[in-house]
C-alpha cells in the first residue's frame, strides 16, 4: 500500500472533475428524524456539496449498489415453439465515495460467497469490478461494534481510503487505478508529522469504541442452541425482515419468474429476503422447518456468527448495528450476545 496526502480543497477538485463525466455515489443527507438527528443514505450526487463525508451512519448500507433488493437475471422472448434469452450484467463504471471500513469489509465478506465461492455471481462481480471505491475513516459511533468483529480497519477492497487530518486527507492507495486517478492532482509525500497525526487518529478511533468481546460467540452459539435467550428475543421479533434489508451483508434471496400478460415474454428475477420472514422459511410442499419467530431469529444469528465463521473464518457481521437501529422492537446483536454470555457464565 502507498500513502500520500492531499489537501481537502484538492480532493474537492478531484470529485468535481469526476462529477463532470461519471456517476458519483456518496453519503447524502436526506432529512431528519423526529429527534432532529440527520438521516443519510448512499445516493448519486450532482455536486460536491451534496456529499456529507462527516456523516455518522447511512440508514441503508452500500450493499444495495452491489446486491440490489430486486434485479432481473434474465429475460425471455417466446415465439411459437422457439424462445430467446437475454442476459445483461454490464455496467457503466461508477464511483462510490465515503464508505466506512465496515461497509468495505462487508463487501469483502460478500465477495467470499458471491465472487470467490463455488457459484460466483456475474451480476455481483460486474458491479464490484466497475465500482471505484473511496473509503473514509470516522470516529466510532456510540453503538457500533465493528472492532469486536474485526471490521474496524480495512487493508483491501478499496482504491483510496481517506483519513481526515484537519485541512488534508491521509490517503491509503490500494490499486493502480486509485494511483492513476490521484496522480493527476497535487498530492504530497507523507511526512513524519503526517504519520504521527494519522496514527494518533487511528488510536483515538480504536479507543473510542466500547469494548465488546465476541471471541467466544461461535462456540457459545453451539452450546446455547436451546437457550431461553432465543425464546425471549423471539417473542419481540416482528418478523418483518427490516434487519436483513439494512444489513450490509445479509444476502439470502429468492428467485422467481414472471410472464407478461400477453404470454410472449418472461423474466427471471432475484429478490432479497430475510430468514425472519415466515413465508421465506416455507419450502416446497408448504413445509416449514423454522415455523416460529424465535427459530428464525436464531437462524439469522447462527448464519452471521457461526455458520459463516466456520466456512470463511470471520463472522459475516461487520458490527455496524444498522439492524439494531432499524428494529422497532430493539433487537440488537450486543444485547443478544450479552444475554448469551450471561447464560453461558462467560
For the CA atoms of the chain, what is the radius of gyration? 22
Complex with other proteins: residue 157 or 234, whichever CB lies closer: 234
- The residues, ordered by sequence, that sit 6+ positions from 64 with a Cβ below 8 Å of its Cβ are 42
Q: Which of residues 293-332 bind other proteins (CB under 8 A)?
A: 293, 326, 328-329
Binder among 223, 225, 278, 342 for other proteins (CB under 8 A): 278
Bridge partners for 266 per DSSP:
76, 259
Q: Contact region for other proteins (CB under 8 A) — 20-28, 98-106, 217-225, 237-245? A: 237-245
Helix (H) or strand (E) holding 27: strand 23-32
Q: Are 73 and 255 in contact (CB under 8 A)?
A: yes
With binding defined as CB under 8 A, does residue 259 bind other proteins? yes
Q: Exposed, middle or buried by CB within 10 Å (0-12, 13-18, 19+), for 185?
A: middle
Can you tell me the distance from the alpha carbon of 22 to that of 16, in angstroms, rounded to the nearest whole number?
10
Q: Which cell numbers hold the place of 277?
A: 420472514
Can you tell me the distance from the alpha carbon of 54 to that of 39, in angstroms, rounded to the nearest whole number?
12
- Nearest residue to 85 via CA among 221, 257, 302, 219: 257
Bridge partners for 13 per DSSP:
none
With binding defined as CB under 8 A, does residue 166 bind other proteins? no
Q: Contact region for other proteins (CB under 8 A) — 86-94, 139-147, 192-200, 253-261? A: 253-261
Binder among 16, 46, 54, 70 for other proteins (CB under 8 A): 70
Q: Are 247 and 102 in contact (CB under 8 A)?
A: no
Complex with other proteins: residue 195 or 260, whichever CB lies closer: 260
**C-alpha separations of 69 from 18, 127, 186, 260 in Å:** 27, 14, 39, 21
Torsion sign, CA atoms 239, 245, 249, 251: positive
Shortest distance in whole angstroms from residue 198 CB to other proteins: 34
Binder among 263, 285, 310, 345 for other proteins (CB under 8 A): 263
With binding defined as CB under 8 A, does residue 82 bind other proteins? no
With binding defined as CB under 8 A, does residue 78 bind other proteins? yes
Binder among 261, 287, 310, 345 for other proteins (CB under 8 A): 261
Can you tell me the distance from the alpha carbon of 56 to that of 137, in angstroms, rounded to the nearest whole number?
11
Q: Are 314 and 308 in contact (CB under 8 A)?
A: yes
Can you tell me the distance from the alpha carbon of 6 to that of 169, in angstroms, rounded to the nearest whole number?
5
Binder among 98, 140, 241, 248 for other proteins (CB under 8 A): 241
Shortest distance in whole angstroms from residue 264 CB to other proteins: 6
Shortest distance in whole angstroms from residue 276 CB to other proteins: 9
With binding defined as CB under 8 A, does residue 186 bind other proteins? no
Shortest distance in whole angstroms from residue 252 CB to other proteins: 12
Binder among 2, 39, 115, 141 for other proteins (CB under 8 A): 39
With binding defined as CB under 8 A, does residue 239 bind other proteins? yes
Can you tell me the distance from the alpha carbon of 61 to that of 33, in angstroms, rounded to the nearest whole number?
18
Shortest distance in whole angstroms from residue 317 CB to other proteins: 18
With binding defined as CB under 8 A, does residue 273 bind other proteins? yes
Shortest distance in whole angstroms from residue 186 CB to other proteins: 37
With binding defined as CB under 8 A, does residue 129 bind other proteins? no
Complex with other proteins: residue 48 or 65, whichever CB lies closer: 65
**Residues at the interface with other proteins (CB under 8 A):** 30-31, 33-34, 39, 41, 59-60, 64, 69-70, 78, 81, 235-242, 245-246, 259-264, 271-274, 277-280, 293, 326, 328-329
Amino acid at each position: 500500500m502507498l500513502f500520500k496526502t492531499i489537501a481537502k480543497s484538492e480532493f474537492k477538485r478531484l470529485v468535481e472533475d469526476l462529477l463532470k463525466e461519471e456517476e458519483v455515489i456518496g453519503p447524502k443527507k436526506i432529512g431528519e428524524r423526529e429527534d432532529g438527528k440527520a438521516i443519510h443514505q448512499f445516493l448519486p450526487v450532482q455536486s460536491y456539496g451534496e456529499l456529507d463525508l462527516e456523516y455518522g451512519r447511512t440508514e441503508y448500507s452500500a450493499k444495495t449498489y452491489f446486491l440490489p433488493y430486486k434485479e432481473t437475471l434474465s429475460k425471455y422472448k417466446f415465439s411459437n415453439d422457439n424462445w430467446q434469452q437475454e442476459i445483461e450484467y454490464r455496467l457503466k463504471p461508477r464511483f462510490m465515495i465515503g464508505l466506512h471500513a465496515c461497509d468495505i469489509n462487508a463487501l469483502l465478506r460478500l465477495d467470499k460467497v458471491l465472487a470467490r465461492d463455488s457459484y460466483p455471481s456475474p451480476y455481483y462481480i460486474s458491479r464490484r469490478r466497475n465500482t471505484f471505491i473511496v473509503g473514509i475513516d470516522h470516529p466510532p459511533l456510540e453503538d457500533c461494534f465493528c472492532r469486536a468483529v474485526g471490521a474496524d480497519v480495512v487493508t483491501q477492497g478499496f482504491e483510496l481510503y481517506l483519513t481526515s487530518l484537519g485541512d488534508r486527507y491521509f490517503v491509503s492507495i490500494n490499486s493502480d487505478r486509485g494511483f492513476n486517478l490521484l496522480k493527476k492532482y497535487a498530492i504530497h509525500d507523507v511526512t513524519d508529522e503526517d504519520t504521527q497525526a494519522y496514527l494518533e487518529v487511528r488510536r483515538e478511533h480504536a479507543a473510542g469504541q466500547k469494548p465488546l468481546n465476541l471471541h467466544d460467540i461461535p462456540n457459545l452459539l453451539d452450546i446455547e442452541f436451546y437457550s431461553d435467550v432465543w425464546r425471549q428475543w423471539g417473542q419481540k421479533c416482528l418478523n418483518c425482515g427490516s434487519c436483513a434489508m439494512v444489513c450490509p451483508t445479509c444476502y439470502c434471496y429468492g428467485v422467481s419468474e414472471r410472464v407478461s400478460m400477453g404470454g410472449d415474454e418472461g423474466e427471471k428475477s432475484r429478490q432479497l429476503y430475510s430468514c425472519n420472514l415466515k413465508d421465506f422459511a416455507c419450502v416446497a410442499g408448504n413445509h416449514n422447518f423454522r415455523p416460529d419467530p424465535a427459530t428464525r431469529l436464531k437462524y439469522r444469528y447462527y448464519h452471521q456468527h457461526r455458520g459463516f465463521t466456520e466456512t470463511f473464518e470471520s463472522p459475516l457481521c461487520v458490527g455496524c448495528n444498522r439492524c439494531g437501529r432499524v428494529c422497532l422492537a430493539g433487537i440488537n446483536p450486543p444485547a443478544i450476545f450479552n444475554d448469551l454470555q450471561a447464560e453461558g457464565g462467560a
